[in-house]
Structure 1
Amino acid sequence: MNSAPGNHIKSIKKSTSTRLIYIVFFLLVSVIAYVFSYWSFSWVDSLDFLKVCSKEDNACVGALLVYRLTFGLALYHLLLAVVMIGVKSGGEGRAKFQDGYWPVKVLMLAGLITVSFFIPNKFFVVYGWAAIFCAAIFILIQLVLLVEFAYSLNESCVRKIENEGESGKKWYVLLFVLSFGCIIAAITGTVLMLVFLGKSCSINQFFIVFNIGISLIVGVLSISEKVREFRPSSGLFQSGIVMLYTTYLIYSAIMSEPASKCSTIANDHPKQSTIIIGALFTIISVCYSAFRASDSNELLGQHQHYESIPNDPDTETTGIADDECECTAYNYSFFHITFAFGAMYICELLTNWATLSNVTSTALSASVDTGMVSVWVKVVSSWVVVLLYLWTLVGPLLLRDRTWD
């Protein structure tokens, strides 16, 4: 007897497909917020049925429109996080709501966003400060994920080298190329920044030199005998990834500087297409970070879950394998909390980390990721990720009685 056609198709896990749908919601609202932040002044003012959004107070244009859209998205995920508290099994009724009832949840999201347009402006003055705090937490989650990713990828390559014997040499070559490739790219980027972005600007020179200095110090420390005695998995690969990422953060910080003698290249009236590509890249990276956070062993602790039965008829017809028959594959509440924080992070990126003490035309003008607050957020983030990585190196040395993964 021939095998069923569905058996030849690699099925997607139900837990993955569910999170991908939530990512589509998140991506859609974020893109709308970005688009309307620029063109809302002419579009929204014509909507007379939104009486609270009058031309006089500019309550629904520019940055305030971004605040309202992202608040509706954040509230949506926070409510789902509360509903999903304590869900452990895919068979529970609340778990079915997590994985299904999509028309209801679409209407729920649309309703919350609509309601946000009728909230007075004063509320968003307070919300702005809460968004800054939650966005900072989301940045920390991103940085932890970066360090975890570096260690996981290194350990995966090392495992393949050990298990495959002679044929595993290709993984050794890959690890070698990636390690030194990241380091060389970071050093090259540093030199180029000093030449083109550090001239006659002492603060930029400090950012660039300090970053490469501490990155090299931590890199040397990662291969020292004392550190490797207690952290055998440390090495140049993780150091290279951290060095390259912090170099990118410093570059991005300099490019976010407002027009001045320190940013003659960074603020030379970038084309609209470049801004759009940058905004989309940022939004997609936030989606990826939120998805990875929900599936991170380091942040959550792994839930045991079971693969679907290979000949499950539902899997063969839908192409979706139920990997949560007994236990959930990820923490539902934490997943939604992470996306809520991600929505607030998008809010801050699209409004230059501004807080609204009052509603003025300048406060309402939203431009993506520029201003000194954005600069310092990125610079401090580069320092924090180095400190996080440094702690993974010296932590096992200082706290020897603790078990370190």
Structure 2
Amino acid sequence: MSNFITSGTTACSCFGTGVKKSTLTRIVYIFFFLLVSVVAYVMSYWTFSWFNNIDVLKVCMDNDECVGTLVVFRLTFGLATYHILLALVMIGVQNTFDTRAKFQDGWWPIKILLLAGIILASFFIPNKFFVVYGWIAIFGAALFIIIQLVLLVEFAYSLNEGCVARIEEEGHYSKRWYFTLLVLTFGSVLAAIAGCVLLLVFFGKCNINQFFIVFNMAISLIIGVLSINEKVREYRPSSGLFQSGVVMLYSTYLVYSAINSEPASMCSTFANSNPRESTIIIGAVFTIISVCYSAFRASDSNELLGSDGHSHEYESLPNLDTGDEDGRLEDDECSHVTYNYTFFHITFALGAMYIGMLLTNWSTIGGVSSSTSLVSVDSGLVSVWVKMISSWLVNLLYLWTLVGPLLLPNREWH
């Protein structure tokens, strides 16, 4: 652990039995991400009085939502900028003989000060900048949602294949994995259908909501039936109802979240009584899981990046053991990096933008001009349509995994 508090000489104890160095590094970055996210959440709700003396926030005229939005934008902008800078610094790093690899895994005091300095500096940026940044963050958050959806579909396939592999290993001596897969499959499908019915009962009082709910249910059921079609399974043997149930359940949640973000003028339902608090926790949980999973999966995904990110030139070099005699920290990057550093930080930057949008209910800032210093915050419809399009997109992504092998049989599919 000495590498955490020093400027960081990379020890190469490749035969250790403890925590891998690359894993520990990513956990630390996740911790910083969660810390800033929690601080942003707290400040967006309960710390308005702390900012009374900050000139750039006085334009809110005691509007708590305005103050909260500006504070969250500044904190998440600082976090996103921090990771964008690191992504630029780490471009092209393929092996641990590159000095920049040591900066990725060490130099933590300097990087902590850098993050704190960027966030502090963001409170001196004029509000006009965040009018533009709000829209940049919307597009960045949308890209992060796409990453979320890709990882969700991948996770569903991986979990299904894991259960099937256990079933094949244990044969007929144990039925527990049959039962586990059966419960997960029908549980997710029934939960999704029940969710759609409840949405119709409680929120289906206007045409737009009825369309959102019924269309989502119809397309999910159609894709579910297609997933067990014999022709599809011939080209995609791993397809099945379990993946369909996971996708259906998540898309149903997105529909609920979209309806819950509707302004009262669009469709008056009791969902509008507390639109932010009722979904903020669920949304934050999905975000945290996505960021953590993407930190360990998407950053080194061969299919997503189009390359393996490894430098085979150094694979034949000898392993050096220069520290960690107790073997508690295993250096798994002695010759080449185990994940793409640049994509890793890009993913976190997009995640920071998504957190900013989530905590502000996809707000945008307006009303800042040369003739007036007043700031207005608009939210509602952007959130609704981003979430609805996401629900359709996750179904389309899953549909492509089913029909893609059928349409392009000569391509290798994972």
Q: After superposing the two structures, state which structure 1 stretch, 385-394 or 58-67, moved more.
A: 58-67
Once the two structures are superposed, what CA deviation does each residue of 1:3-60 show, in whole Å capped at 9, x if it has no partner?
A: xxxxxx962221111111111111111121222223443211235xxxx536247799
Matched, 1:387 2:392: no
1:30 maps to 37
Per the TM alignment, residue 227 of structure 1 is displaced from its structure 2 partner at its CA by 0.7
Q: After superposing the two structures, state which structure 1 stretch, 276-285 or 211-220, moved more.
A: 276-285
Of 235, 241, 244, the match for 1:239: 244
- C-alpha distance in 2 between matches for 1:25 and 1:204: 38
Of 281, 288, 291, the match for 1:284: 288
- C-alpha distance in 1 between matches for 2:127 and 2:52: 16
Per the TM alignment, residue 131 of structure 1 is displaced from its structure 2 partner at its CA by 1.2
1:249 maps to 254
Matched, 1:356 2:356: no
Matched, 1:111 2:117: yes
- C-alpha distance in 2 between matches for 1:372 and 1:270: 12
Alpha carbons of structure 1 residues 57 and 184: separation in structure 2 relative to 1, 3 Å: closer
Of 215, 228, 232, the match for 2:233: 228
**Do 1:76 and 1:109's aligned partners in 2 also have CA atoms closer than 8 Å?**
yes
> Which aligned segments of 4 or more residues in structure 1 are displaced greater than 6 angstroms?
57-60
Once the two structures are superposed, what CA deviation does each residue of 1:235-267 show, in whole Å capped at 9, x if it has no partner?
A: 111111111111111122222222358453313
Unpaired runs of at least 5, structure 1: 1-8
Matched, 1:335 2:344: yes
Once the two structures are superposed, what CA deviation does each residue of 1:68-102 show, in whole Å capped at 9, x if it has no partner?
A: 11111111001101111111123432111111111
Once the two structures are superposed, what CA deviation does each residue of 1:357-376 show, in whole Å capped at 9, x if it has no partner?
A: 324767358xxxx7222121
- C-alpha distance in 2 between matches for 1:402 and 1:124: 44
TM-score scaled by length of structure 2: 0.84
- C-alpha distance in 2 between matches for 1:153 and 1:285: 15
Per the TM alignment, residue 168 of structure 1 is displaced from its structure 2 partner at its CA by 5.4
Matching residue's letter, 1:94:
R
| Secondary structure in structure 2 of the residue aligned to 1:87 | coil
2:51 maps to 44
Per the TM alignment, residue 226 of structure 1 is displaced from its structure 2 partner at its CA by 1.0
2:380 maps to 371
TM-score scaled by length of structure 1: 0.86
Matching residue's letter, 1:354:
S
Alpha carbons of structure 1 residues 356 and 289: separation in structure 2 relative to 1, 3 Å: farther
Per the TM alignment, residue 280 of structure 1 is displaced from its structure 2 partner at its CA by 4.6
Matched, 1:100 2:125: no
Per the TM alignment, residue 289 of structure 1 is displaced from its structure 2 partner at its CA by 4.7
2:127 maps to 121
Per the TM alignment, residue 355 of structure 1 is displaced from its structure 2 partner at its CA by 2.5
- C-alpha distance in 2 between matches for 1:154 and 1:234: 9
Matched, 1:201 2:206: yes
Once the two structures are superposed, what CA deviation does each residue of 1:215-250 show, in whole Å capped at 9, x if it has no partner?
A: 110011111111111111111111111111111111
1:78 maps to 84
Once the two structures are superposed, what CA deviation does each residue of 1:111-135 show, in whole Å capped at 9, x if it has no partner?
A: 1111112222222222122111111
Once the two structures are superposed, what CA deviation does each residue of 1:124-153 show, in whole Å capped at 9, x if it has no partner?
A: 222122111111111101000011111111
Q: After superposing the two structures, state which structure 1 stretch, 176-185 or 312-321, moved more.
A: 312-321
- C-alpha distance in 1 between matches for 2:213 and 2:120: 45
Matched, 1:404 2:413: yes
Per the TM alignment, residue 388 of structure 1 is displaced from its structure 2 partner at its CA by 0.4
Q: How many correspondences in the alignment?
A: 385
Q: After superposing the two structures, state which structure 1 stretch, 182-191 or 317-326, moved more.
A: 317-326
1:294 maps to 299
1:5 maps to none
Once the two structures are superposed, what CA deviation does each residue of 1:264-295 show, in whole Å capped at 9, x if it has no partner?
A: 331334796x6774565355235335424224
Of 160, 163, 181, the match for 2:187: 181
| Secondary structure in structure 2 of the residue aligned to 1:95 | helix
2:11 maps to none
| Secondary structure in structure 1 of the residue aligned to 2:270 | coil
- C-alpha distance in 1 between matches for 2:130 and 2:247: 36
Of 118, 140, 145, the match for 2:146: 140
Alpha carbons of structure 1 residues 222 and 38: separation in structure 2 relative to 1, 3 Å: same
* Aligned-CA RMSD value: 3.0
| Secondary structure in structure 1 of the residue aligned to 2:376 | helix
State the identity %: 64
**Do 1:255 and 1:263's aligned partners in 2 also have CA atoms closer than 8 Å?**
no
Matching residue's letter, 1:247:
T
For 1:252-331, what aligned pairs fall within 5 Å after superposition? 252-259=257-264, 262-269=267-274, 277-278=281-282, 280-281=284-285, 283-291=287-295, 292-300=297-305, 302=308, 314=323, 317=326, 319-331=328-340
| Secondary structure in structure 1 of the residue aligned to 2:410 | coil
Matching residue's letter, 1:264:
T
